[in-house]
Protein backbone atom coordinates (compact mmCIF):
# COMPACT_ATOMS: atom_id res chain seq x y z
CA UNK A 1 0.00 0.00 0.00
CA UNK A 2 1.15 3.57 -0.62
CA UNK A 3 2.07 5.90 2.20
CA UNK A 4 0.56 9.38 2.54
CA UNK A 5 3.64 11.15 1.16
CA UNK A 6 3.29 9.30 -2.13
CA UNK A 7 -0.39 10.14 -2.39
CA UNK A 8 -0.15 13.90 -2.47
CA UNK A 9 1.29 14.36 -5.97
CA UNK A 10 0.44 11.97 -8.77
CA UNK A 11 -2.79 10.65 -7.33
CA UNK A 12 -4.16 14.17 -6.92
CA UNK A 13 -2.94 14.97 -10.41
CA UNK A 14 -5.08 12.17 -11.82
CA UNK A 15 -7.98 12.86 -9.45
CA UNK A 16 -7.67 9.55 -7.65
CA UNK A 17 -8.91 9.75 -4.08
CA UNK A 18 -6.65 8.70 -1.20
CA UNK A 19 -9.17 5.96 -0.36
CA UNK A 20 -8.66 4.36 -3.76
CA UNK A 21 -4.94 5.03 -3.89
CA UNK A 22 -4.17 3.21 -0.65
CA UNK A 23 -5.38 -0.13 -2.00
CA UNK A 24 -4.95 0.07 -5.78
CA UNK A 25 -2.39 -1.68 -7.95
CA UNK A 26 0.40 0.88 -8.59
CA UNK A 27 0.34 -0.09 -12.26
CA UNK A 28 -2.90 1.90 -12.65
CA UNK A 29 -1.07 5.07 -11.68
CA UNK A 30 2.04 4.25 -13.68
CA UNK A 31 0.15 3.67 -16.92
CA UNK A 32 -1.64 7.03 -16.49
CA UNK A 33 1.66 8.80 -15.95
CA UNK A 34 3.34 7.10 -18.93
CA UNK A 35 0.37 7.75 -21.24
CA UNK A 36 0.58 11.44 -20.43
CA UNK A 37 4.33 11.46 -21.09
CA UNK A 38 3.91 9.59 -24.38
CA UNK A 39 1.23 11.97 -25.62
CA UNK A 40 3.37 14.98 -24.76
CA UNK A 41 6.34 13.39 -26.53
CA UNK A 42 4.10 12.94 -29.60
CA UNK A 43 3.17 16.62 -29.48
CA UNK A 44 -0.41 15.92 -28.37
CA UNK A 45 -2.07 17.73 -25.48
CA UNK A 46 -4.02 15.12 -23.48
CA UNK A 47 -6.93 17.53 -22.94
CA UNK A 48 -7.36 17.87 -26.70
CA UNK A 49 -8.36 14.20 -26.94
CA UNK A 50 -11.44 14.56 -24.72
CA UNK A 51 -14.46 13.09 -26.47
CA UNK A 52 -12.36 11.67 -29.33
CA UNK A 53 -12.40 8.21 -30.88
CA UNK A 54 -9.10 7.31 -29.26
CA UNK A 55 -8.65 3.62 -28.52
CA UNK A 56 -6.80 2.20 -25.53
CA UNK A 57 -5.22 -1.26 -25.70
CA UNK A 58 -3.37 -2.44 -22.61
CA UNK A 59 -1.16 -5.54 -22.42
CA UNK A 60 -1.12 -6.58 -18.77
CA UNK A 61 -0.70 -10.04 -17.31
CA UNK A 62 0.33 -9.47 -13.69
CA UNK A 63 -1.65 -7.80 -10.91
CA UNK A 64 -0.42 -9.30 -7.66
CA UNK A 65 -0.17 -6.13 -5.58
CA UNK A 66 -3.42 -7.08 -3.84
CA UNK A 67 -1.63 -10.12 -2.39
CA UNK A 68 0.50 -7.76 -0.31
CA UNK A 69 -2.59 -6.22 1.34
CA UNK A 70 -4.16 -7.60 4.50
CA UNK A 71 -7.93 -6.94 4.15
CA UNK A 72 -8.22 -6.77 7.94
CA UNK A 73 -6.00 -3.69 7.86
CA UNK A 74 -8.17 -1.93 5.28
CA UNK A 75 -10.88 0.37 6.59
CA UNK A 76 -14.43 -0.70 5.76
CA UNK A 77 -14.92 2.47 3.72
CA UNK A 78 -11.95 1.54 1.50
CA UNK A 79 -12.69 -2.15 0.90
CA UNK A 80 -14.96 -1.52 -2.06
CA UNK A 81 -11.92 -0.18 -3.93
CA UNK A 82 -9.96 -3.40 -3.54
CA UNK A 83 -11.75 -4.94 -6.53
CA UNK A 84 -11.70 -2.15 -9.10
CA UNK A 85 -8.30 -0.93 -7.89
CA UNK A 86 -6.71 -4.31 -8.58
CA UNK A 87 -8.59 -5.39 -11.69
CA UNK A 88 -6.38 -5.77 -14.76
CA UNK A 89 -9.35 -4.92 -16.97
CA UNK A 90 -9.85 -1.63 -15.15
CA UNK A 91 -6.39 -0.33 -16.09
CA UNK A 92 -7.48 0.38 -19.68
CA UNK A 93 -10.79 1.80 -18.52
CA UNK A 94 -9.06 4.12 -16.10
CA UNK A 95 -7.05 5.65 -18.95
CA UNK A 96 -10.17 6.21 -21.05
CA UNK A 97 -12.06 7.59 -18.05
CA UNK A 98 -9.28 9.96 -17.01
CA UNK A 99 -8.85 11.50 -20.46
CA UNK A 100 -12.50 11.14 -21.60
CA UNK A 101 -11.59 8.90 -24.53
CA UNK A 102 -14.56 7.36 -26.38
CA UNK A 103 -12.91 4.68 -28.52
CA UNK A 104 -12.63 0.96 -27.67
CA UNK A 105 -10.76 0.27 -24.45
CA UNK A 106 -9.64 -3.12 -23.21
CA UNK A 107 -6.92 -5.18 -21.60
CA UNK A 108 -5.05 -8.01 -23.32
CA UNK A 109 -3.47 -10.96 -21.52
CA UNK A 110 -1.51 -13.51 -23.53
CA UNK A 111 1.30 -13.54 -20.93
CA UNK A 112 4.67 -12.59 -22.46
CA UNK A 113 3.23 -11.59 -25.86
CA UNK A 114 0.54 -9.28 -24.40
CA UNK A 115 2.22 -6.03 -25.48
CA UNK A 116 2.58 -6.99 -29.14
CA UNK A 117 -0.93 -8.47 -29.23
CA UNK A 118 -2.23 -5.16 -27.87
CA UNK A 119 -0.22 -3.48 -30.64
CA UNK A 120 -1.97 -5.68 -33.21
CA UNK A 121 -5.36 -4.56 -31.84
CA UNK A 122 -4.30 -0.92 -32.12
CA UNK A 123 -3.07 -1.33 -35.71
CA UNK A 124 -6.29 -3.09 -36.74
CA UNK A 125 -8.51 -0.45 -35.11
CA UNK A 126 -6.67 2.28 -37.02
CA UNK A 127 -6.76 0.41 -40.32
CA UNK A 128 -10.52 -0.17 -40.11
CA UNK A 129 -11.27 3.42 -39.11
CA UNK A 130 -12.62 2.35 -35.74
CA UNK A 131 -10.30 4.82 -34.03
CA UNK A 132 -8.54 8.04 -35.01
CA UNK A 133 -5.68 7.44 -32.56
CA UNK A 134 -4.55 4.39 -30.58
CA UNK A 135 -2.74 4.27 -27.27
CA UNK A 136 -0.94 0.95 -26.90
CA UNK A 137 0.24 0.30 -23.36
CA UNK A 138 2.10 -2.61 -21.75
CA UNK A 139 2.97 -2.98 -18.11
CA UNK A 140 4.63 -5.48 -15.81
CA UNK A 141 5.26 -5.31 -12.07
CA UNK A 142 5.80 -8.14 -9.59
CA UNK A 143 4.99 -7.12 -6.04
CA UNK A 144 4.37 -10.33 -4.07
CA UNK A 145 6.48 -13.22 -2.85
CA UNK A 146 3.91 -15.49 -4.51
CA UNK A 147 4.70 -13.89 -7.88
CA UNK A 148 8.38 -14.66 -7.51
CA UNK A 149 7.73 -18.14 -6.13
CA UNK A 150 5.74 -19.27 -9.17
CA UNK A 151 8.45 -17.98 -11.50
CA UNK A 152 11.17 -19.81 -9.60
CA UNK A 153 9.07 -22.99 -9.72
CA UNK A 154 9.13 -23.00 -13.54
CA UNK A 155 12.92 -23.42 -13.57
CA UNK A 156 13.19 -20.71 -16.24
CA UNK A 157 14.80 -18.11 -13.96
CA UNK A 158 18.58 -17.83 -14.15
CA UNK A 159 20.19 -19.32 -11.03
CA UNK A 160 23.17 -17.03 -11.61
CA UNK A 161 20.97 -13.92 -11.75
CA UNK A 162 22.00 -12.98 -15.29
CA UNK A 163 20.17 -13.40 -18.57
CA UNK A 164 22.57 -14.39 -21.35
CA UNK A 165 20.37 -14.66 -24.42
CA UNK A 166 21.91 -16.79 -27.20
CA UNK A 167 25.08 -17.15 -25.12
CA UNK A 168 26.97 -20.37 -24.40
CA UNK A 169 26.36 -19.78 -20.68
CA UNK A 170 22.63 -19.06 -21.04
CA UNK A 171 20.74 -20.49 -18.08
CA UNK A 172 17.44 -18.59 -17.99
CA UNK A 173 16.05 -15.09 -17.59
CA UNK A 174 15.82 -12.49 -14.85
CA UNK A 175 12.69 -10.54 -13.93
CA UNK A 176 12.31 -6.98 -15.18
CA UNK A 177 9.61 -4.40 -14.49
CA UNK A 178 8.34 -1.44 -16.45
CA UNK A 179 5.62 0.37 -18.38
CA UNK A 180 5.82 1.14 -22.11
CA UNK A 181 3.42 3.33 -24.11
CA UNK A 182 3.30 3.78 -27.89
CA UNK A 183 1.06 6.28 -29.70
CA UNK A 184 -0.26 4.99 -33.03
CA UNK A 185 -1.68 7.36 -35.62
CA UNK A 186 -2.46 7.20 -39.35
CA UNK A 187 0.39 8.33 -41.55
CA UNK A 188 -0.01 11.97 -42.52
CA UNK A 189 2.08 14.11 -44.85
CA UNK A 190 4.48 16.30 -42.94
CA UNK A 191 3.89 14.60 -39.58
CA UNK A 192 6.81 13.28 -37.53
CA UNK A 193 6.91 9.49 -37.73
CA UNK A 194 9.17 6.94 -36.10
CA UNK A 195 8.26 4.16 -38.47
CA UNK A 196 5.58 2.05 -40.11
CA UNK A 197 4.64 -1.12 -38.27
CA UNK A 198 2.84 -4.37 -39.12
CA UNK A 199 2.10 -7.19 -36.68
CA UNK A 200 0.93 -10.81 -36.97
CA UNK A 201 -0.36 -13.10 -34.22
CA UNK A 202 -0.94 -16.87 -34.04
CA UNK A 203 -0.87 -19.78 -31.57
CA UNK A 204 1.33 -22.85 -31.19
CA UNK A 205 -1.66 -25.18 -31.22
CA UNK A 206 -1.05 -28.56 -29.62
CA UNK A 207 2.60 -29.21 -28.74
CA UNK A 208 4.31 -31.49 -26.24
CA UNK A 209 2.89 -29.23 -23.52
CA UNK A 210 1.02 -25.94 -23.14
CA UNK A 211 4.23 -24.03 -22.45
CA UNK A 212 6.40 -25.86 -25.02
CA UNK A 213 7.13 -23.58 -28.03
CA UNK A 214 6.60 -24.62 -31.65
CA UNK A 215 9.22 -23.86 -34.29
CA UNK A 216 6.62 -24.23 -37.05
CA UNK A 217 4.22 -21.76 -35.40
CA UNK A 218 7.01 -19.24 -34.81
CA UNK A 219 8.06 -19.54 -38.44
CA UNK A 220 4.45 -19.06 -39.56
CA UNK A 221 3.89 -15.89 -37.54
CA UNK A 222 7.10 -14.33 -38.93
CA UNK A 223 6.08 -15.20 -42.48
CA UNK A 224 2.64 -13.67 -41.89
CA UNK A 225 4.22 -10.43 -40.65
CA UNK A 226 6.48 -10.35 -43.73
CA UNK A 227 3.49 -10.70 -46.05
CA UNK A 228 1.67 -7.91 -44.21
CA UNK A 229 4.68 -5.61 -44.55
CA UNK A 230 5.16 -6.29 -48.26
CA UNK A 231 8.88 -6.84 -47.64
CA UNK A 232 11.10 -9.62 -48.91
CA UNK A 233 12.80 -11.72 -46.24
CA UNK A 234 16.19 -10.24 -47.13
CA UNK A 235 14.89 -6.71 -46.49
CA UNK A 236 14.88 -7.20 -42.71
CA UNK A 237 18.33 -6.46 -41.32
CA UNK A 238 17.91 -7.13 -37.61
CA UNK A 239 15.51 -8.92 -35.27
CA UNK A 240 14.83 -7.91 -31.67
CA UNK A 241 14.11 -11.47 -30.60
CA UNK A 242 12.13 -12.87 -27.71
CA UNK A 243 15.50 -14.22 -26.51
CA UNK A 244 14.87 -15.33 -22.92
CA UNK A 245 18.21 -17.07 -22.62
CA UNK A 246 16.78 -20.55 -22.00
CA UNK A 247 18.41 -23.69 -23.44
CA UNK A 248 15.04 -24.81 -24.86
CA UNK A 249 13.64 -21.56 -26.21
CA UNK A 250 16.66 -19.91 -27.82
CA UNK A 251 17.54 -22.68 -30.34
CA UNK A 252 13.89 -23.04 -31.38
CA UNK A 253 13.55 -19.30 -31.94
CA UNK A 254 16.74 -19.02 -34.01
CA UNK A 255 15.72 -22.05 -36.08
CA UNK A 256 12.34 -20.45 -36.80
CA UNK A 257 13.95 -17.14 -37.80
CA UNK A 258 16.38 -18.96 -40.10
CA UNK A 259 13.49 -20.73 -41.83
CA UNK A 260 11.17 -17.72 -42.11
CA UNK A 261 13.79 -15.23 -43.21
CA UNK A 262 15.60 -17.73 -45.51
CA UNK A 263 18.84 -16.61 -43.93
CA UNK A 264 21.00 -19.30 -45.56
CA UNK A 265 20.18 -17.77 -48.96
CA UNK A 266 21.04 -14.19 -47.98
CA UNK A 267 24.16 -12.40 -49.14
CA UNK A 268 24.48 -10.71 -45.74
CA UNK A 269 23.76 -12.26 -42.35
CA UNK A 270 20.68 -11.53 -40.27
CA UNK A 271 21.60 -9.93 -36.94
CA UNK A 272 19.67 -11.05 -33.88
CA UNK A 273 19.61 -9.62 -30.35
CA UNK A 274 17.48 -9.42 -27.23
CA UNK A 275 16.79 -6.71 -24.67
CA UNK A 276 16.44 -9.13 -21.76
CA UNK A 277 20.14 -9.17 -20.77
CA UNK A 278 19.88 -5.38 -20.36
CA UNK A 279 16.44 -4.93 -18.84
CA UNK A 280 15.37 -8.35 -17.60
CA UNK A 281 12.22 -10.03 -18.87
CA UNK A 282 9.37 -7.51 -18.77
CA UNK A 283 6.99 -10.34 -19.68
CA UNK A 284 3.70 -8.65 -20.73
CA UNK A 285 5.63 -5.47 -21.59
CA UNK A 286 8.65 -7.16 -23.21
CA UNK A 287 7.37 -7.06 -26.79
CA UNK A 288 6.47 -3.38 -26.63
CA UNK A 289 9.88 -2.62 -25.12
CA UNK A 290 11.40 -4.46 -28.10
CA UNK A 291 9.38 -2.20 -30.42
CA UNK A 292 10.84 0.90 -28.76
CA UNK A 293 14.35 -0.55 -29.09
CA UNK A 294 13.62 -1.33 -32.75
CA UNK A 295 12.67 2.32 -33.33
CA UNK A 296 15.91 3.41 -31.66
CA UNK A 297 17.80 0.95 -33.86
CA UNK A 298 16.29 2.46 -37.01
CA UNK A 299 17.30 5.93 -35.86
CA UNK A 300 20.85 4.93 -34.91
CA UNK A 301 21.34 2.61 -37.87
CA UNK A 302 23.01 0.00 -35.69
CA UNK A 303 21.64 -2.72 -33.39
CA UNK A 304 22.45 -2.61 -29.68
CA UNK A 305 24.75 -5.16 -28.13
CA UNK A 306 22.97 -8.04 -26.38
CA UNK A 307 25.77 -9.15 -24.07
CA UNK A 308 28.89 -7.13 -23.29
CA UNK A 309 30.98 -10.29 -23.40
CA UNK A 310 30.57 -13.99 -23.92
CA UNK A 311 30.47 -16.61 -26.65
CA UNK A 312 27.49 -17.55 -28.85
CA UNK A 313 25.71 -20.76 -27.89
CA UNK A 314 27.31 -23.86 -29.39
CA UNK A 315 23.92 -25.58 -29.66
CA UNK A 316 22.85 -23.18 -32.43
CA UNK A 317 24.46 -23.59 -35.90
CA UNK A 318 25.06 -19.89 -36.47
CA UNK A 319 27.26 -20.25 -39.56
CA UNK A 320 24.87 -22.69 -41.23
CA UNK A 321 21.96 -20.34 -40.57
CA UNK A 322 23.92 -17.24 -41.64
CA UNK A 323 22.74 -15.49 -38.47
CA UNK A 324 24.92 -13.43 -36.13
CA UNK A 325 23.97 -12.71 -32.51
CA UNK A 326 24.85 -9.25 -31.20
CA UNK A 327 27.19 -10.66 -28.58
CA UNK A 328 30.57 -9.21 -27.70
CA UNK A 329 32.47 -7.31 -30.39
CA UNK A 330 30.27 -7.85 -33.42
CA UNK A 331 30.54 -6.01 -36.73
CA UNK A 332 27.00 -4.87 -37.43
CA UNK A 333 25.50 -3.53 -40.65
CA UNK A 334 26.25 0.02 -41.78
CA UNK A 335 22.57 0.93 -41.87
CA UNK A 336 19.27 -0.66 -40.90
CA UNK A 337 16.00 -0.01 -42.71
CA UNK A 338 13.73 -2.71 -41.24
CA UNK A 339 13.60 -4.54 -37.91
CA UNK A 340 11.63 -7.61 -36.84
CA UNK A 341 10.30 -7.97 -33.29
CA UNK A 342 9.22 -11.19 -31.59
CA UNK A 343 7.25 -11.92 -28.43
CA UNK A 344 6.12 -15.41 -27.51
CA UNK A 345 3.65 -15.98 -24.69
CA UNK A 346 3.78 -18.75 -22.13
CA UNK A 347 0.17 -19.27 -23.18
CA UNK A 348 1.32 -20.32 -26.66
CA UNK A 349 0.29 -17.06 -28.34
CA UNK A 350 3.04 -15.76 -30.64
CA UNK A 351 3.44 -12.29 -32.14
CA UNK A 352 5.91 -10.87 -34.63
CA UNK A 353 6.03 -7.26 -35.78
CA UNK A 354 8.07 -5.57 -38.48
CA UNK A 355 8.87 -1.88 -38.36
CA UNK A 356 10.37 0.05 -41.26
CA UNK A 357 11.73 3.52 -41.75
CA UNK A 358 9.10 6.12 -42.62
CA UNK A 359 8.70 6.28 -46.38
Tens of each residue's pLDDT in the chain, 359 residues: 445 455 456 777 888 888 888 888 999 999 999 999 999 999 999 999 999 999 999 999 988 888 888 888 888 777 888 888 888 889 999 999 999 999 999 999 999 999 999 999 999 999 999 999 999 999 999 999 998 998 998 888 999 999 999 999 999 999 999 999 999 998 774 456 678 999 999 999 999 888 889 999 999 999 999 999 999 999 999 999 999 999 889 999 999 999 999 999 999 999 999 999 999 999 999 999 999 999 999 998 888 888 767 889 999 999 999 999 998 777 777 789 999 999 999 999 999 999 998 76
Q: What is the DSSP string of 265-293?
A: G-SSPEEEE-SHHHH-B-GGGHHHHHHHH
Question: The whole model's pTM is what?
Answer: 0.93
CB 88 within 8 A of CB 109: yes
Torsion of CA 257, 262, 267, 272, to 10 degrees: 0
Q: What is the DSSP string of 342-359?
A: EEE-TTSEEEEEEEE---
Domains of the chain, first to last: 4-356 (3.40.47.10)
Ramachandran assignment for 205, one of left (phi > 0), alpha (psi -120 to 50 degrees), beta (any other): left
Residue 89 CB-half CA count within 13 A: 3
Amino acid sequence: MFDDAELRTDFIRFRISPRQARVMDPQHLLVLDCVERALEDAGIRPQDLAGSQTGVFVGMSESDSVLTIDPDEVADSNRSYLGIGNSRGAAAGRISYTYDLRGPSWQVDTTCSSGLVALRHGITALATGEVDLALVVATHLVRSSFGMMVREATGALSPTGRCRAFDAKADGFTVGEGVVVVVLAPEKAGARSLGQVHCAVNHDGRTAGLTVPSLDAQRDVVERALRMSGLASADVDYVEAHGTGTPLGDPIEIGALAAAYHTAERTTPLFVGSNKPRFGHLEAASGLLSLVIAMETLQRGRPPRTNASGQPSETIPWAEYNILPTIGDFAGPDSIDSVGISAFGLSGTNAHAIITRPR
